[in-house]
Each structure stands twice: as structure tokens, then as C-alpha cells.
Amino acid sequence: MKDRIMSKYKDKSVLDSAHIQKKRSTMIRTVFILATMLTISISVKGQPEAIWQLLQDGSIVRWAYSGGDEFNGTSLDLNKWYTCVDGWNREHGPGEELQYYLDDNIVLDNGILKLIAKEEPGYYNVWRFDGGAHIEQKYFKYTSGWIQTKQKFKYGLFEIRVKLPEGKGLWPAFWLFGGNPDEEFDIFEYKGETPNRIHYDMHCPNGCQNFGDWITVNGNFSDGFNVIMGEWGPNATFWYLNGREFTIWFGNLYYQASVIANLAIATNFGPFSPGPDNSTMFPSIFEIDYIRIWTRIDCEQNITIENYSQTNTDPTVITGNQITMGGNNGDANLQNGQHLKMIATDRINLRPGFEAESGSNFSAKIINCPSINNNYKSIEEQDSGLCVISECVPDSLHQMQTKSTFENSPSLYTKIYPNPTDGEIDIEFVGKIERNVKITLTNSTGMVVFIQDNIIDNKISIDISNLAKGVYILTGYFGDSTISEKIILK
């Protein structure tokens, strides 16, 4: 299927007009009113703000950063994350999973988030609901760590860079959970006794056509950091290891979902047995360099929303060229506990009539839409980190039953950050690097102030702190395909 599933959703907007036109709500709200024509621009230092996703046919899809964490602080940002999961402790106690989740088992260490499993047997408080709610104590042999986004998402590219622990019974995972009904997108699950494998899966009320399997890679996930991604779109979901697509599921998930990373301890029965034994080392650590969440940016669509009342089946990120919310003809309301982010390439207009309750979470930013020239030829591969055996060795007997056969799959992800910048620009390449990748930086007069050709490194840095403040054009050349983006030097 050469069009790569609707050319990456081009024939189906992530937020179409039918999906956002809701009946006016009569609920009384405590609100604040945002002024007409308000435009908000946000830049977070240290993280990529954009991805250029190069497909095999030379077309380029642009993704904008819409959530996540670089974990560069000294403690977890509790504005972004939940750590208390008493409901999970209660429902998955001894006999199902062996750990009790504690905040003390979440540590930030020099830019790395560590979820730490410890052997700490004892009785821990859990809530019990039996006609009322009260605390009781249950025995757990192990403690561990869990983080869960406060923001929920529908659709996007979900990326994590991880180093996984080795040891029997250790069960780290990165996944999305929609709650009701039972929808779950498992980007990966892993068992420490098989460090060269990860499991991918999809859960839904109809069973998801019995989808899900293990993949084997050409090394161990415990030896170093690797990037694992899941791309959730309408009608299709993709999985990637170090930029290489390795499987696809055709179907739909309908509900917003939280993003979760946790380190569980398995039991000696069930689908992820065995549990730990005397050979398992404690403490054991699930190391996370970053979690990044991306939304496909539509550079051409103009969106006007007069009536809006979010439900749990609506996307929480709206993208477009111009986005206008609110108006005299209807109510546009964001309620307590709801999240909405707008990302536009030109303008965001918030008119009277757009109301956000206290306790809701609204944000917006303006980003550049790159110019693209597509005239693509061939790709020469360069390996980057672990890869699935069936991908590393095409004639392997371990061919995956669900392996994608698309001719137009992604070949390279290019990440650029920070933008705006104080002087240094980092450019990361994940996936298959062409041997003739070239990067140039041009000032407003058309003079090239930086050029690097024949790039083979996975990361390069550009220092322009000595140049005049202003707007520069960063251009990437990928064979005969080019893409340009504005860089702002503050």
C-alpha cells in the first residue's frame, strides 16, 4: 500500500468539523475569558520542537512536540505526571503483580528518570471499596515506580528512549491506557529474563483480532539506550525500533488515553510469567532518558470552531494553519480536568465565547511550517542501535507474521532543538541515514553561515552564538529531497 495509510492521514483530518461541532452546554461554569486574537508562543529548552519524518518515496511529514518530559530537573514535574496509582495497587496486588508503587522509587539522576524496583517486604496501605471506602493493609514483597501523564491524548507519535533492566521477573512497560472501555496500546512490554525481546500489543473490546507478539532483536536492551516509538492514527497504528517500522495494526481506538511508564514485578503464572527468583538482582532500574509526544501538523488547514464541548473521544491536540475558537454563535468550553493544546503555523484566534474552567489545562503555540521539495531517489542504509532480526537479516527465518509490507515506510527522523535558540542547535538523526545527508544554515541576506555535508553521525551540533540575532533558514538535503525550517536566534 504505497500511500502509507491515507498519506499519513491527509484524507482524514485528526479533528474534522463533524467531530468538534457539539451541542451547547447549559452547565453553569466558573470560567475565565481569553481576549480576541490572542496568540501564545511557547518554547521549551532542551527538547526537539519538530520532527521531519522522511518516507521512502521522498515525501516528508512534519510532527510538532505536544507533550512529554526530558527529565532534566532534580525532581519529577508533578504538573505533568501522576505517581499515585492506588487503584492499580488495589486491583493488581499480590497474586497478580508483586509490586507496590511508591513515590520514593522514582528518582531523577543527571537527566535520567529511574524507576527502581526494590525488595522491601512489608504491609502497605491500599484502598478497599466494599459499600464504602476505607484503607486496609496488604502484604507486598517488592516496591517499584510508576508515572502517568495528567494530560490524555488521542492520536500521535509516542517516543521513549530507554535502557531496560536484566533479571528474571522484571516487567517494565511503556503504554497508553484509555480506561473505559478497555482500550490499551502497548508500545512495548519486556521481561528481564529475555533481554533481547520486547512485546507489542493492542487491547480493545473486540479482542483486536488477536493482535500482539514478541520480537527478537540483534542484541540486548540492557546493554544501552534504544528509542522505541508507537504511532497512533485513525485506522492504523505503527511500531518502531530505532526509527525502523517493525509492525502495524489496522483498526481504531476511540478514547483518549494516558501515557504510562512503569516497572512491574511478574508472578509465576499468567501471560508474563515467570516471577523473580534468587538470581534476580534488587534494586533493579528502568532508565528513561526522555518521553516525547508528537502530533502531526497540518500546515494548510484553517479551522474555525464555534461550538466545542470536549468528550473523552475527542483529540486533545488541534493543529492547523490558522485556528479560531469561540464566537457569538455558540459556546466553546473546556471543563475542569480537560486538556486542550493548539498548534498552528500562522495564527491562533481565541474569541469571546471561548471559556476554560478553573482546573482545565489549555495551551497554544505557533510553529513554522517547513517548505518541502520532494524529488527522491534511493536510500543507502546505516544501522542505528538495535533492530528487529527480521529487519536486520531480510532472509531470516524469524520473519514476523504482522510485518509491514509498505513500500513507503519511514526511513529517517530528523529532530531539531531548541528553537528559538540562544546559540546552539542540536540535530539528531534516528533511522536510516543517507550517506549524502547535508545541512545548511542561511542568514536573512542569503549567505550560508554553516554547511556540513556527507553526514554519517547520529547527532551534530551547530554553534551560532557569535552571529547576529534574527531569523535563519535551516535546510536539510536528503538525496534530491530538501526541507527548510526557520530558526530564531534570540
- Can you give the residue ranges of every domain in the chain? 7-33+298-366, 66-292, 372-489
Q: What is the residue-averaged pLDDT of the chain?
A: 78
Lowest-pLDDT range of 140-154, 250-264, 384-398, 474-488: 384-398
DSSP for 132-175 reads: SEEEEEEEEEEEE-EEEESS-BSSEEEEEEEE---STTEEEEEE
User: Cell 478514547 maps to which residue?
Assistant: 255
Question: What's the alpha-carbon Rg for the chain, to the nearest Å?
Answer: 23
**pLDDT at residue 142 greater than cutoff 90:** yes
Give the pLDDT band (50/70/90) at residue 471.
confident
Higher pLDDT, 241 or 45: 241
Contacts 24+ apart (CB under 8 A), 182-187: 183/253, 183/254, 183/255, 183/257, 184/257, 185/230, 185/232, 185/237, 185/253, 185/257, 186/212, 187/158, 187/160, 187/228, 187/229, 187/230, 187/239
Of 321, 250, 261, 314, the closest CA to residue 64 belongs to 321
Question: Residues of 249-270 as b/e, b for ≥16 C-beta within 10 angstroms?
Answer: beeebebbbbbbbbbbbbbeee
Lowest-pLDDT range of 108-112, 160-164, 207-211: 207-211
**Which are the contacts of 316, defined by CB distance < 8 A and separation ≥ 6?**
151, 152, 153, 154, 256, 310, 338, 339, 340, 341
**Which are the contacts of 170, defined by CB distance < 8 A and separation ≥ 6?**
117, 190, 191, 192, 193, 263, 265, 266, 276, 280, 284, 286
CA 92 to chain centre: 26
Higher pLDDT, 5 or 333: 333
- CB 226, CB 242: distance < 8 Å: yes
Mean pLDDT in residue range 219-240:
92
Strands 212-216 and 332-334: unpaired
CATH topology of domain 372-489: Immunoglobulin-like (2.60.40)
Mean pLDDT in residue range 4-24:
35
Give the pLDDT band (50/70/90) at residue 438.
confident
pLDDT for residue 462: 87
66-292 and 372-489, same CATH topology: no
Give the pLDDT band (50/70/90) at residue 452.
confident
Position 213: which residue type? D
pLDDT for residue 373: 44
Cα–Cα distance between 176 and 201 in angstroms, integer? Answer: 11
Higher pLDDT, 470 or 393: 470
Give the pLDDT band (50/70/90) at residue 411.
low
Lowest-pLDDT range of 48-57, 71-80, 282-291, 433-442: 48-57
Q: C-alpha cell of 174?
A: 511503556
Render pLDDT for 276-300 as a digit per residue (tens, 0 to 9): 999 999 999 999 999 999 998 877 8
Give the pLDDT band (50/70/90) at residue 46.
low
**Which are the contacts of 256, defined by CB distance < 8 A and separation ≥ 6?**
152, 153, 154, 178, 312, 313, 314, 315, 316
Cα–Cα distance between 204 and 370 in angstroms, integer? Answer: 37
How far, CA to CA in Å, does 337 sit from each of 14, 15, 68? 22, 20, 18
Render pLDDT for 144-189 as a digit per residue (tens, 0 to 9): 999 999 999 999 999 999 999 999 999 999 999 987 778 999 999 9
Higher pLDDT, 375 or 174: 174
Give the DSSP letter of residue 370. Answer: P
**Which are the contacts of 301, defined by CB distance < 8 A and separation ≥ 6?**
13, 319, 320, 321
Strands 60-69 and 50-55: antiparallel
- Report the percentage of the chain scoring pLDDT > 70: 76
pLDDT for residue 294: 92
Query: Under DSSP, is residue 437 helix (H, G, I), strand (E, B) or coil?
Result: strand
Higher pLDDT, 39 or 44: 44
pLDDT for residue 194: 97
Lowest-pLDDT range of 6-20, 227-241, 338-352, 382-396: 6-20
**pLDDT at residue 35 greater than cutoff 70:** no
Higher pLDDT, 382 or 356: 356
- CB 293, CB 176: distance < 8 Å: no
Higher pLDDT, 481 or 111: 111
Helices (H) and strands (E) in the chain, counts: 4, 34
Residue 127: how many other CB atoms lie within 10 Å: 12
E strands present in 41-98: 50-55, 60-69, 81-82
Cα–Cα distance between 292 and 424 in angstroms, integer? Answer: 21
- CB 51, CB 410: distance < 8 Å: no
Lowest-pLDDT range of 93-97, 442-446, 477-481: 93-97
Lowest-pLDDT range of 6-15, 94-103, 149-158: 6-15
pLDDT for residue 48: 65
pLDDT for residue 122: 93
Give the pLDDT band (50/70/90) at residue 403.
very low
How far, CA to CA in Å, does 482 sit from each of 131, 371, 459, 478? 64, 8, 19, 6
**Which are the contacts of 196, defined by CB distance < 8 A and separation ≥ 6?**
216, 217, 218, 219, 220, 221
Mean pLDDT in residue range 123-131:
75
pLDDT for residue 156: 94
Residue 341: how many other CB atoms lie within 10 Å: 21
Of 264, 343, 257, 241, the closest CA to residue 15 belongs to 343
Give the pLDDT band (50/70/90) at residue 8.
very low
pLDDT for residue 89: 59
CATH architecture of 66-292: Sandwich (2.60)
Give the pLDDT band (50/70/90) at residue 443.
confident
Stated as kind and residue range, the H or E segment containing 17 is: helix 17-20
Higher pLDDT, 457 or 317: 317
Mean pLDDT in residue range 124-147:
82
Give the DSSP letter of residue 270. Answer: S
